[in-house]
Amino acid sequence: MEEQFLNILKGRIRGEERAAFFKSLQDDPEVRKGYAEFERLWVINQMGFKLHNLGEKRRAFDSFWRKRSLAGAIRKKFSYYQAAAAVMAVVLVSGAIFFALGNRSIETLVLVAPKGNVSNIELGDGSSVWLNSESRIEMKRYRSSKVVVNLTGEAYFDVIHDSTREFIVKVGDYAIHDLGTQFNVAYDEQAGYVEVALFDGLVEFKEGIKRLYPGLQPGRMFCFDMNNQSFKEKSADKGLITAWKDGKFIFMNEKMENIVRELENWYDVRFVFENESIKEDEFFGVIKRRTSLEHILSVLKLSAEIDYSMQQQEDGSLLVVLK
């Protein structure tokens, strides 16, 4: 069973077999509980991916899992100082999963959310960060004066205000300076955009020391096009924007082209449109993220009146053709 869990998390199991696995989680509470524990340890293991080659990482994780009863107290909730202590505990158990800095004045934490997973970390001051599927943060604390988070992908931040400390989220050449807020940031370097949605408090958007955007009001969001340096502002629906954090897909008259992009990021599949006009079709619905891909496709087929076929590729990947 543990080998099957690992193959699911690594994306080795695809198509119908993957769909059957997630259905079994819904039917068997014990299997669901076991997978949740295994998934948690797997995410912790990924935090140190930069320091190890694949063989080392596998051996470390295998050792960690075999001895997990000794590491039962280690959780995915770390304060900065607790994180350093937990690192030492994990190293003793598994060989090395985390990394620490040589400079003791700077503490670093790396958190990743593998495809099809959402990760969460709670800091010592009560602030918390949620990380969406296929996203990564590197968080550095410079003593007690500043926290800098380098983000790739999407994250939700709930930051406790501290007038003696800076909290900065960096996305490429740009930075969001937090002043005690709840906000969501989505950064896609390849697509060339940054989206910031503010739900409470205040943020500043800067390039270096230059402020690029005037005060964003709670309940508003902007999309910054990095290619032409332009902004578009609109209202921000918290329930819709942070649905990923709550384990849901929420599509509000969303174009099919955008829907399949989100499904690709979550299910590790590739979509192609046999009929290009389908890209403009819109869909409205709420679906749990733990639902199998086949179930979602069947819902889209009935609701959006589209057809599809699933094709296993030679490399083991899954291709979904929308017709």
pLDDT of residue 42: 59
pLDDT interval class at 90 (50, 70, 90) = very low
Write the pLDDT tens digit of every residue in 185-237.
Answer: 999 998 899 999 999 999 999 999 899 997 789 999 999 999 999 999 999 99
pLDDT of residue 237: 94
CATH topology of domain 101-241: Jelly Rolls (2.60.120)
Residue 8, pLDDT above cutoff 90: no
CA atoms within 13 A on the CB side of 129: 30
Per the rule left: phi > 0, alpha: psi between -120 and 50, beta: everything else, 143 is left
Write the pLDDT tens digit of every residue in 307-322.
Answer: 899 988 887 788 999 9
Residue 179, pLDDT above cutoff 70: yes
**Cβ neighbours for 102, distance < 8 A, ≥ 6 positions apart:** none
The answer regarding whether domain 247-322 maps to CATH 3.40.1260.10 reads no
Determine which helix (DSSP H) or strand (DSSP E) holds 151, and give its type and residue range.
strand 146-158
Q: Which residue has the higher pLDDT, 80 or 6?
A: 6
Bridge-based pairing of strands 135-142 and 174-178 is unpaired
pLDDT of residue 271: 94
Write the pLDDT tens digit of every residue in 109-155.
Answer: 888 888 888 988 888 788 899 999 989 999 888 877 889 999 999 99
**Cβ neighbours for 250, distance < 8 A, ≥ 6 positions apart:** 239, 240, 243, 285, 286
Region 98-109: mean pLDDT is 58
pLDDT of residue 43: 56
Write the pLDDT tens digit of every residue in 28-78.
Answer: 777 777 777 676 665 555 444 433 444 544 554 555 455 443 333 333 333
Bridge-based pairing of strands 146-158 and 128-131 is antiparallel
pLDDT of residue 148: 93
Torsion sign, CA atoms 257, 258, 259, 264:
positive
pLDDT of residue 190: 87
Write the pLDDT tens digit of every residue in 230-286.
Answer: 999 999 999 999 999 999 998 888 899 999 988 998 888 899 999 888 899 888 888
Global confidence as pTM:
0.68
C-alpha 44/C-alpha 112 separation (Å) is: 8
C-alpha 233/C-alpha 89 separation (Å) is: 46
pLDDT of residue 52: 40
Determine the Cα angle at 42 with ends 38 and 45, to 5°.
140
Residue 80, pLDDT above cutoff 70: no
pLDDT of residue 159: 92
pLDDT interval class at 102 (50, 70, 90) = very low
Residue 24, pLDDT above cutoff 90: no
Residue 175, pLDDT above cutoff 50: yes
Domain boundaries, the chain: 1-75, 101-241, 247-322
Q: How far is CA 34 from the centre of its chain?
A: 21
Residue 106, pLDDT above cutoff 60: yes
Q: E-assigned strands of the chain?
A: 106-113, 119-122, 128-131, 135-142, 146-158, 166-171, 174-178, 182-188, 193-200, 203-207, 210-213, 220-225, 230-235, 248-255, 270-273, 282-288, 308-312, 318-322
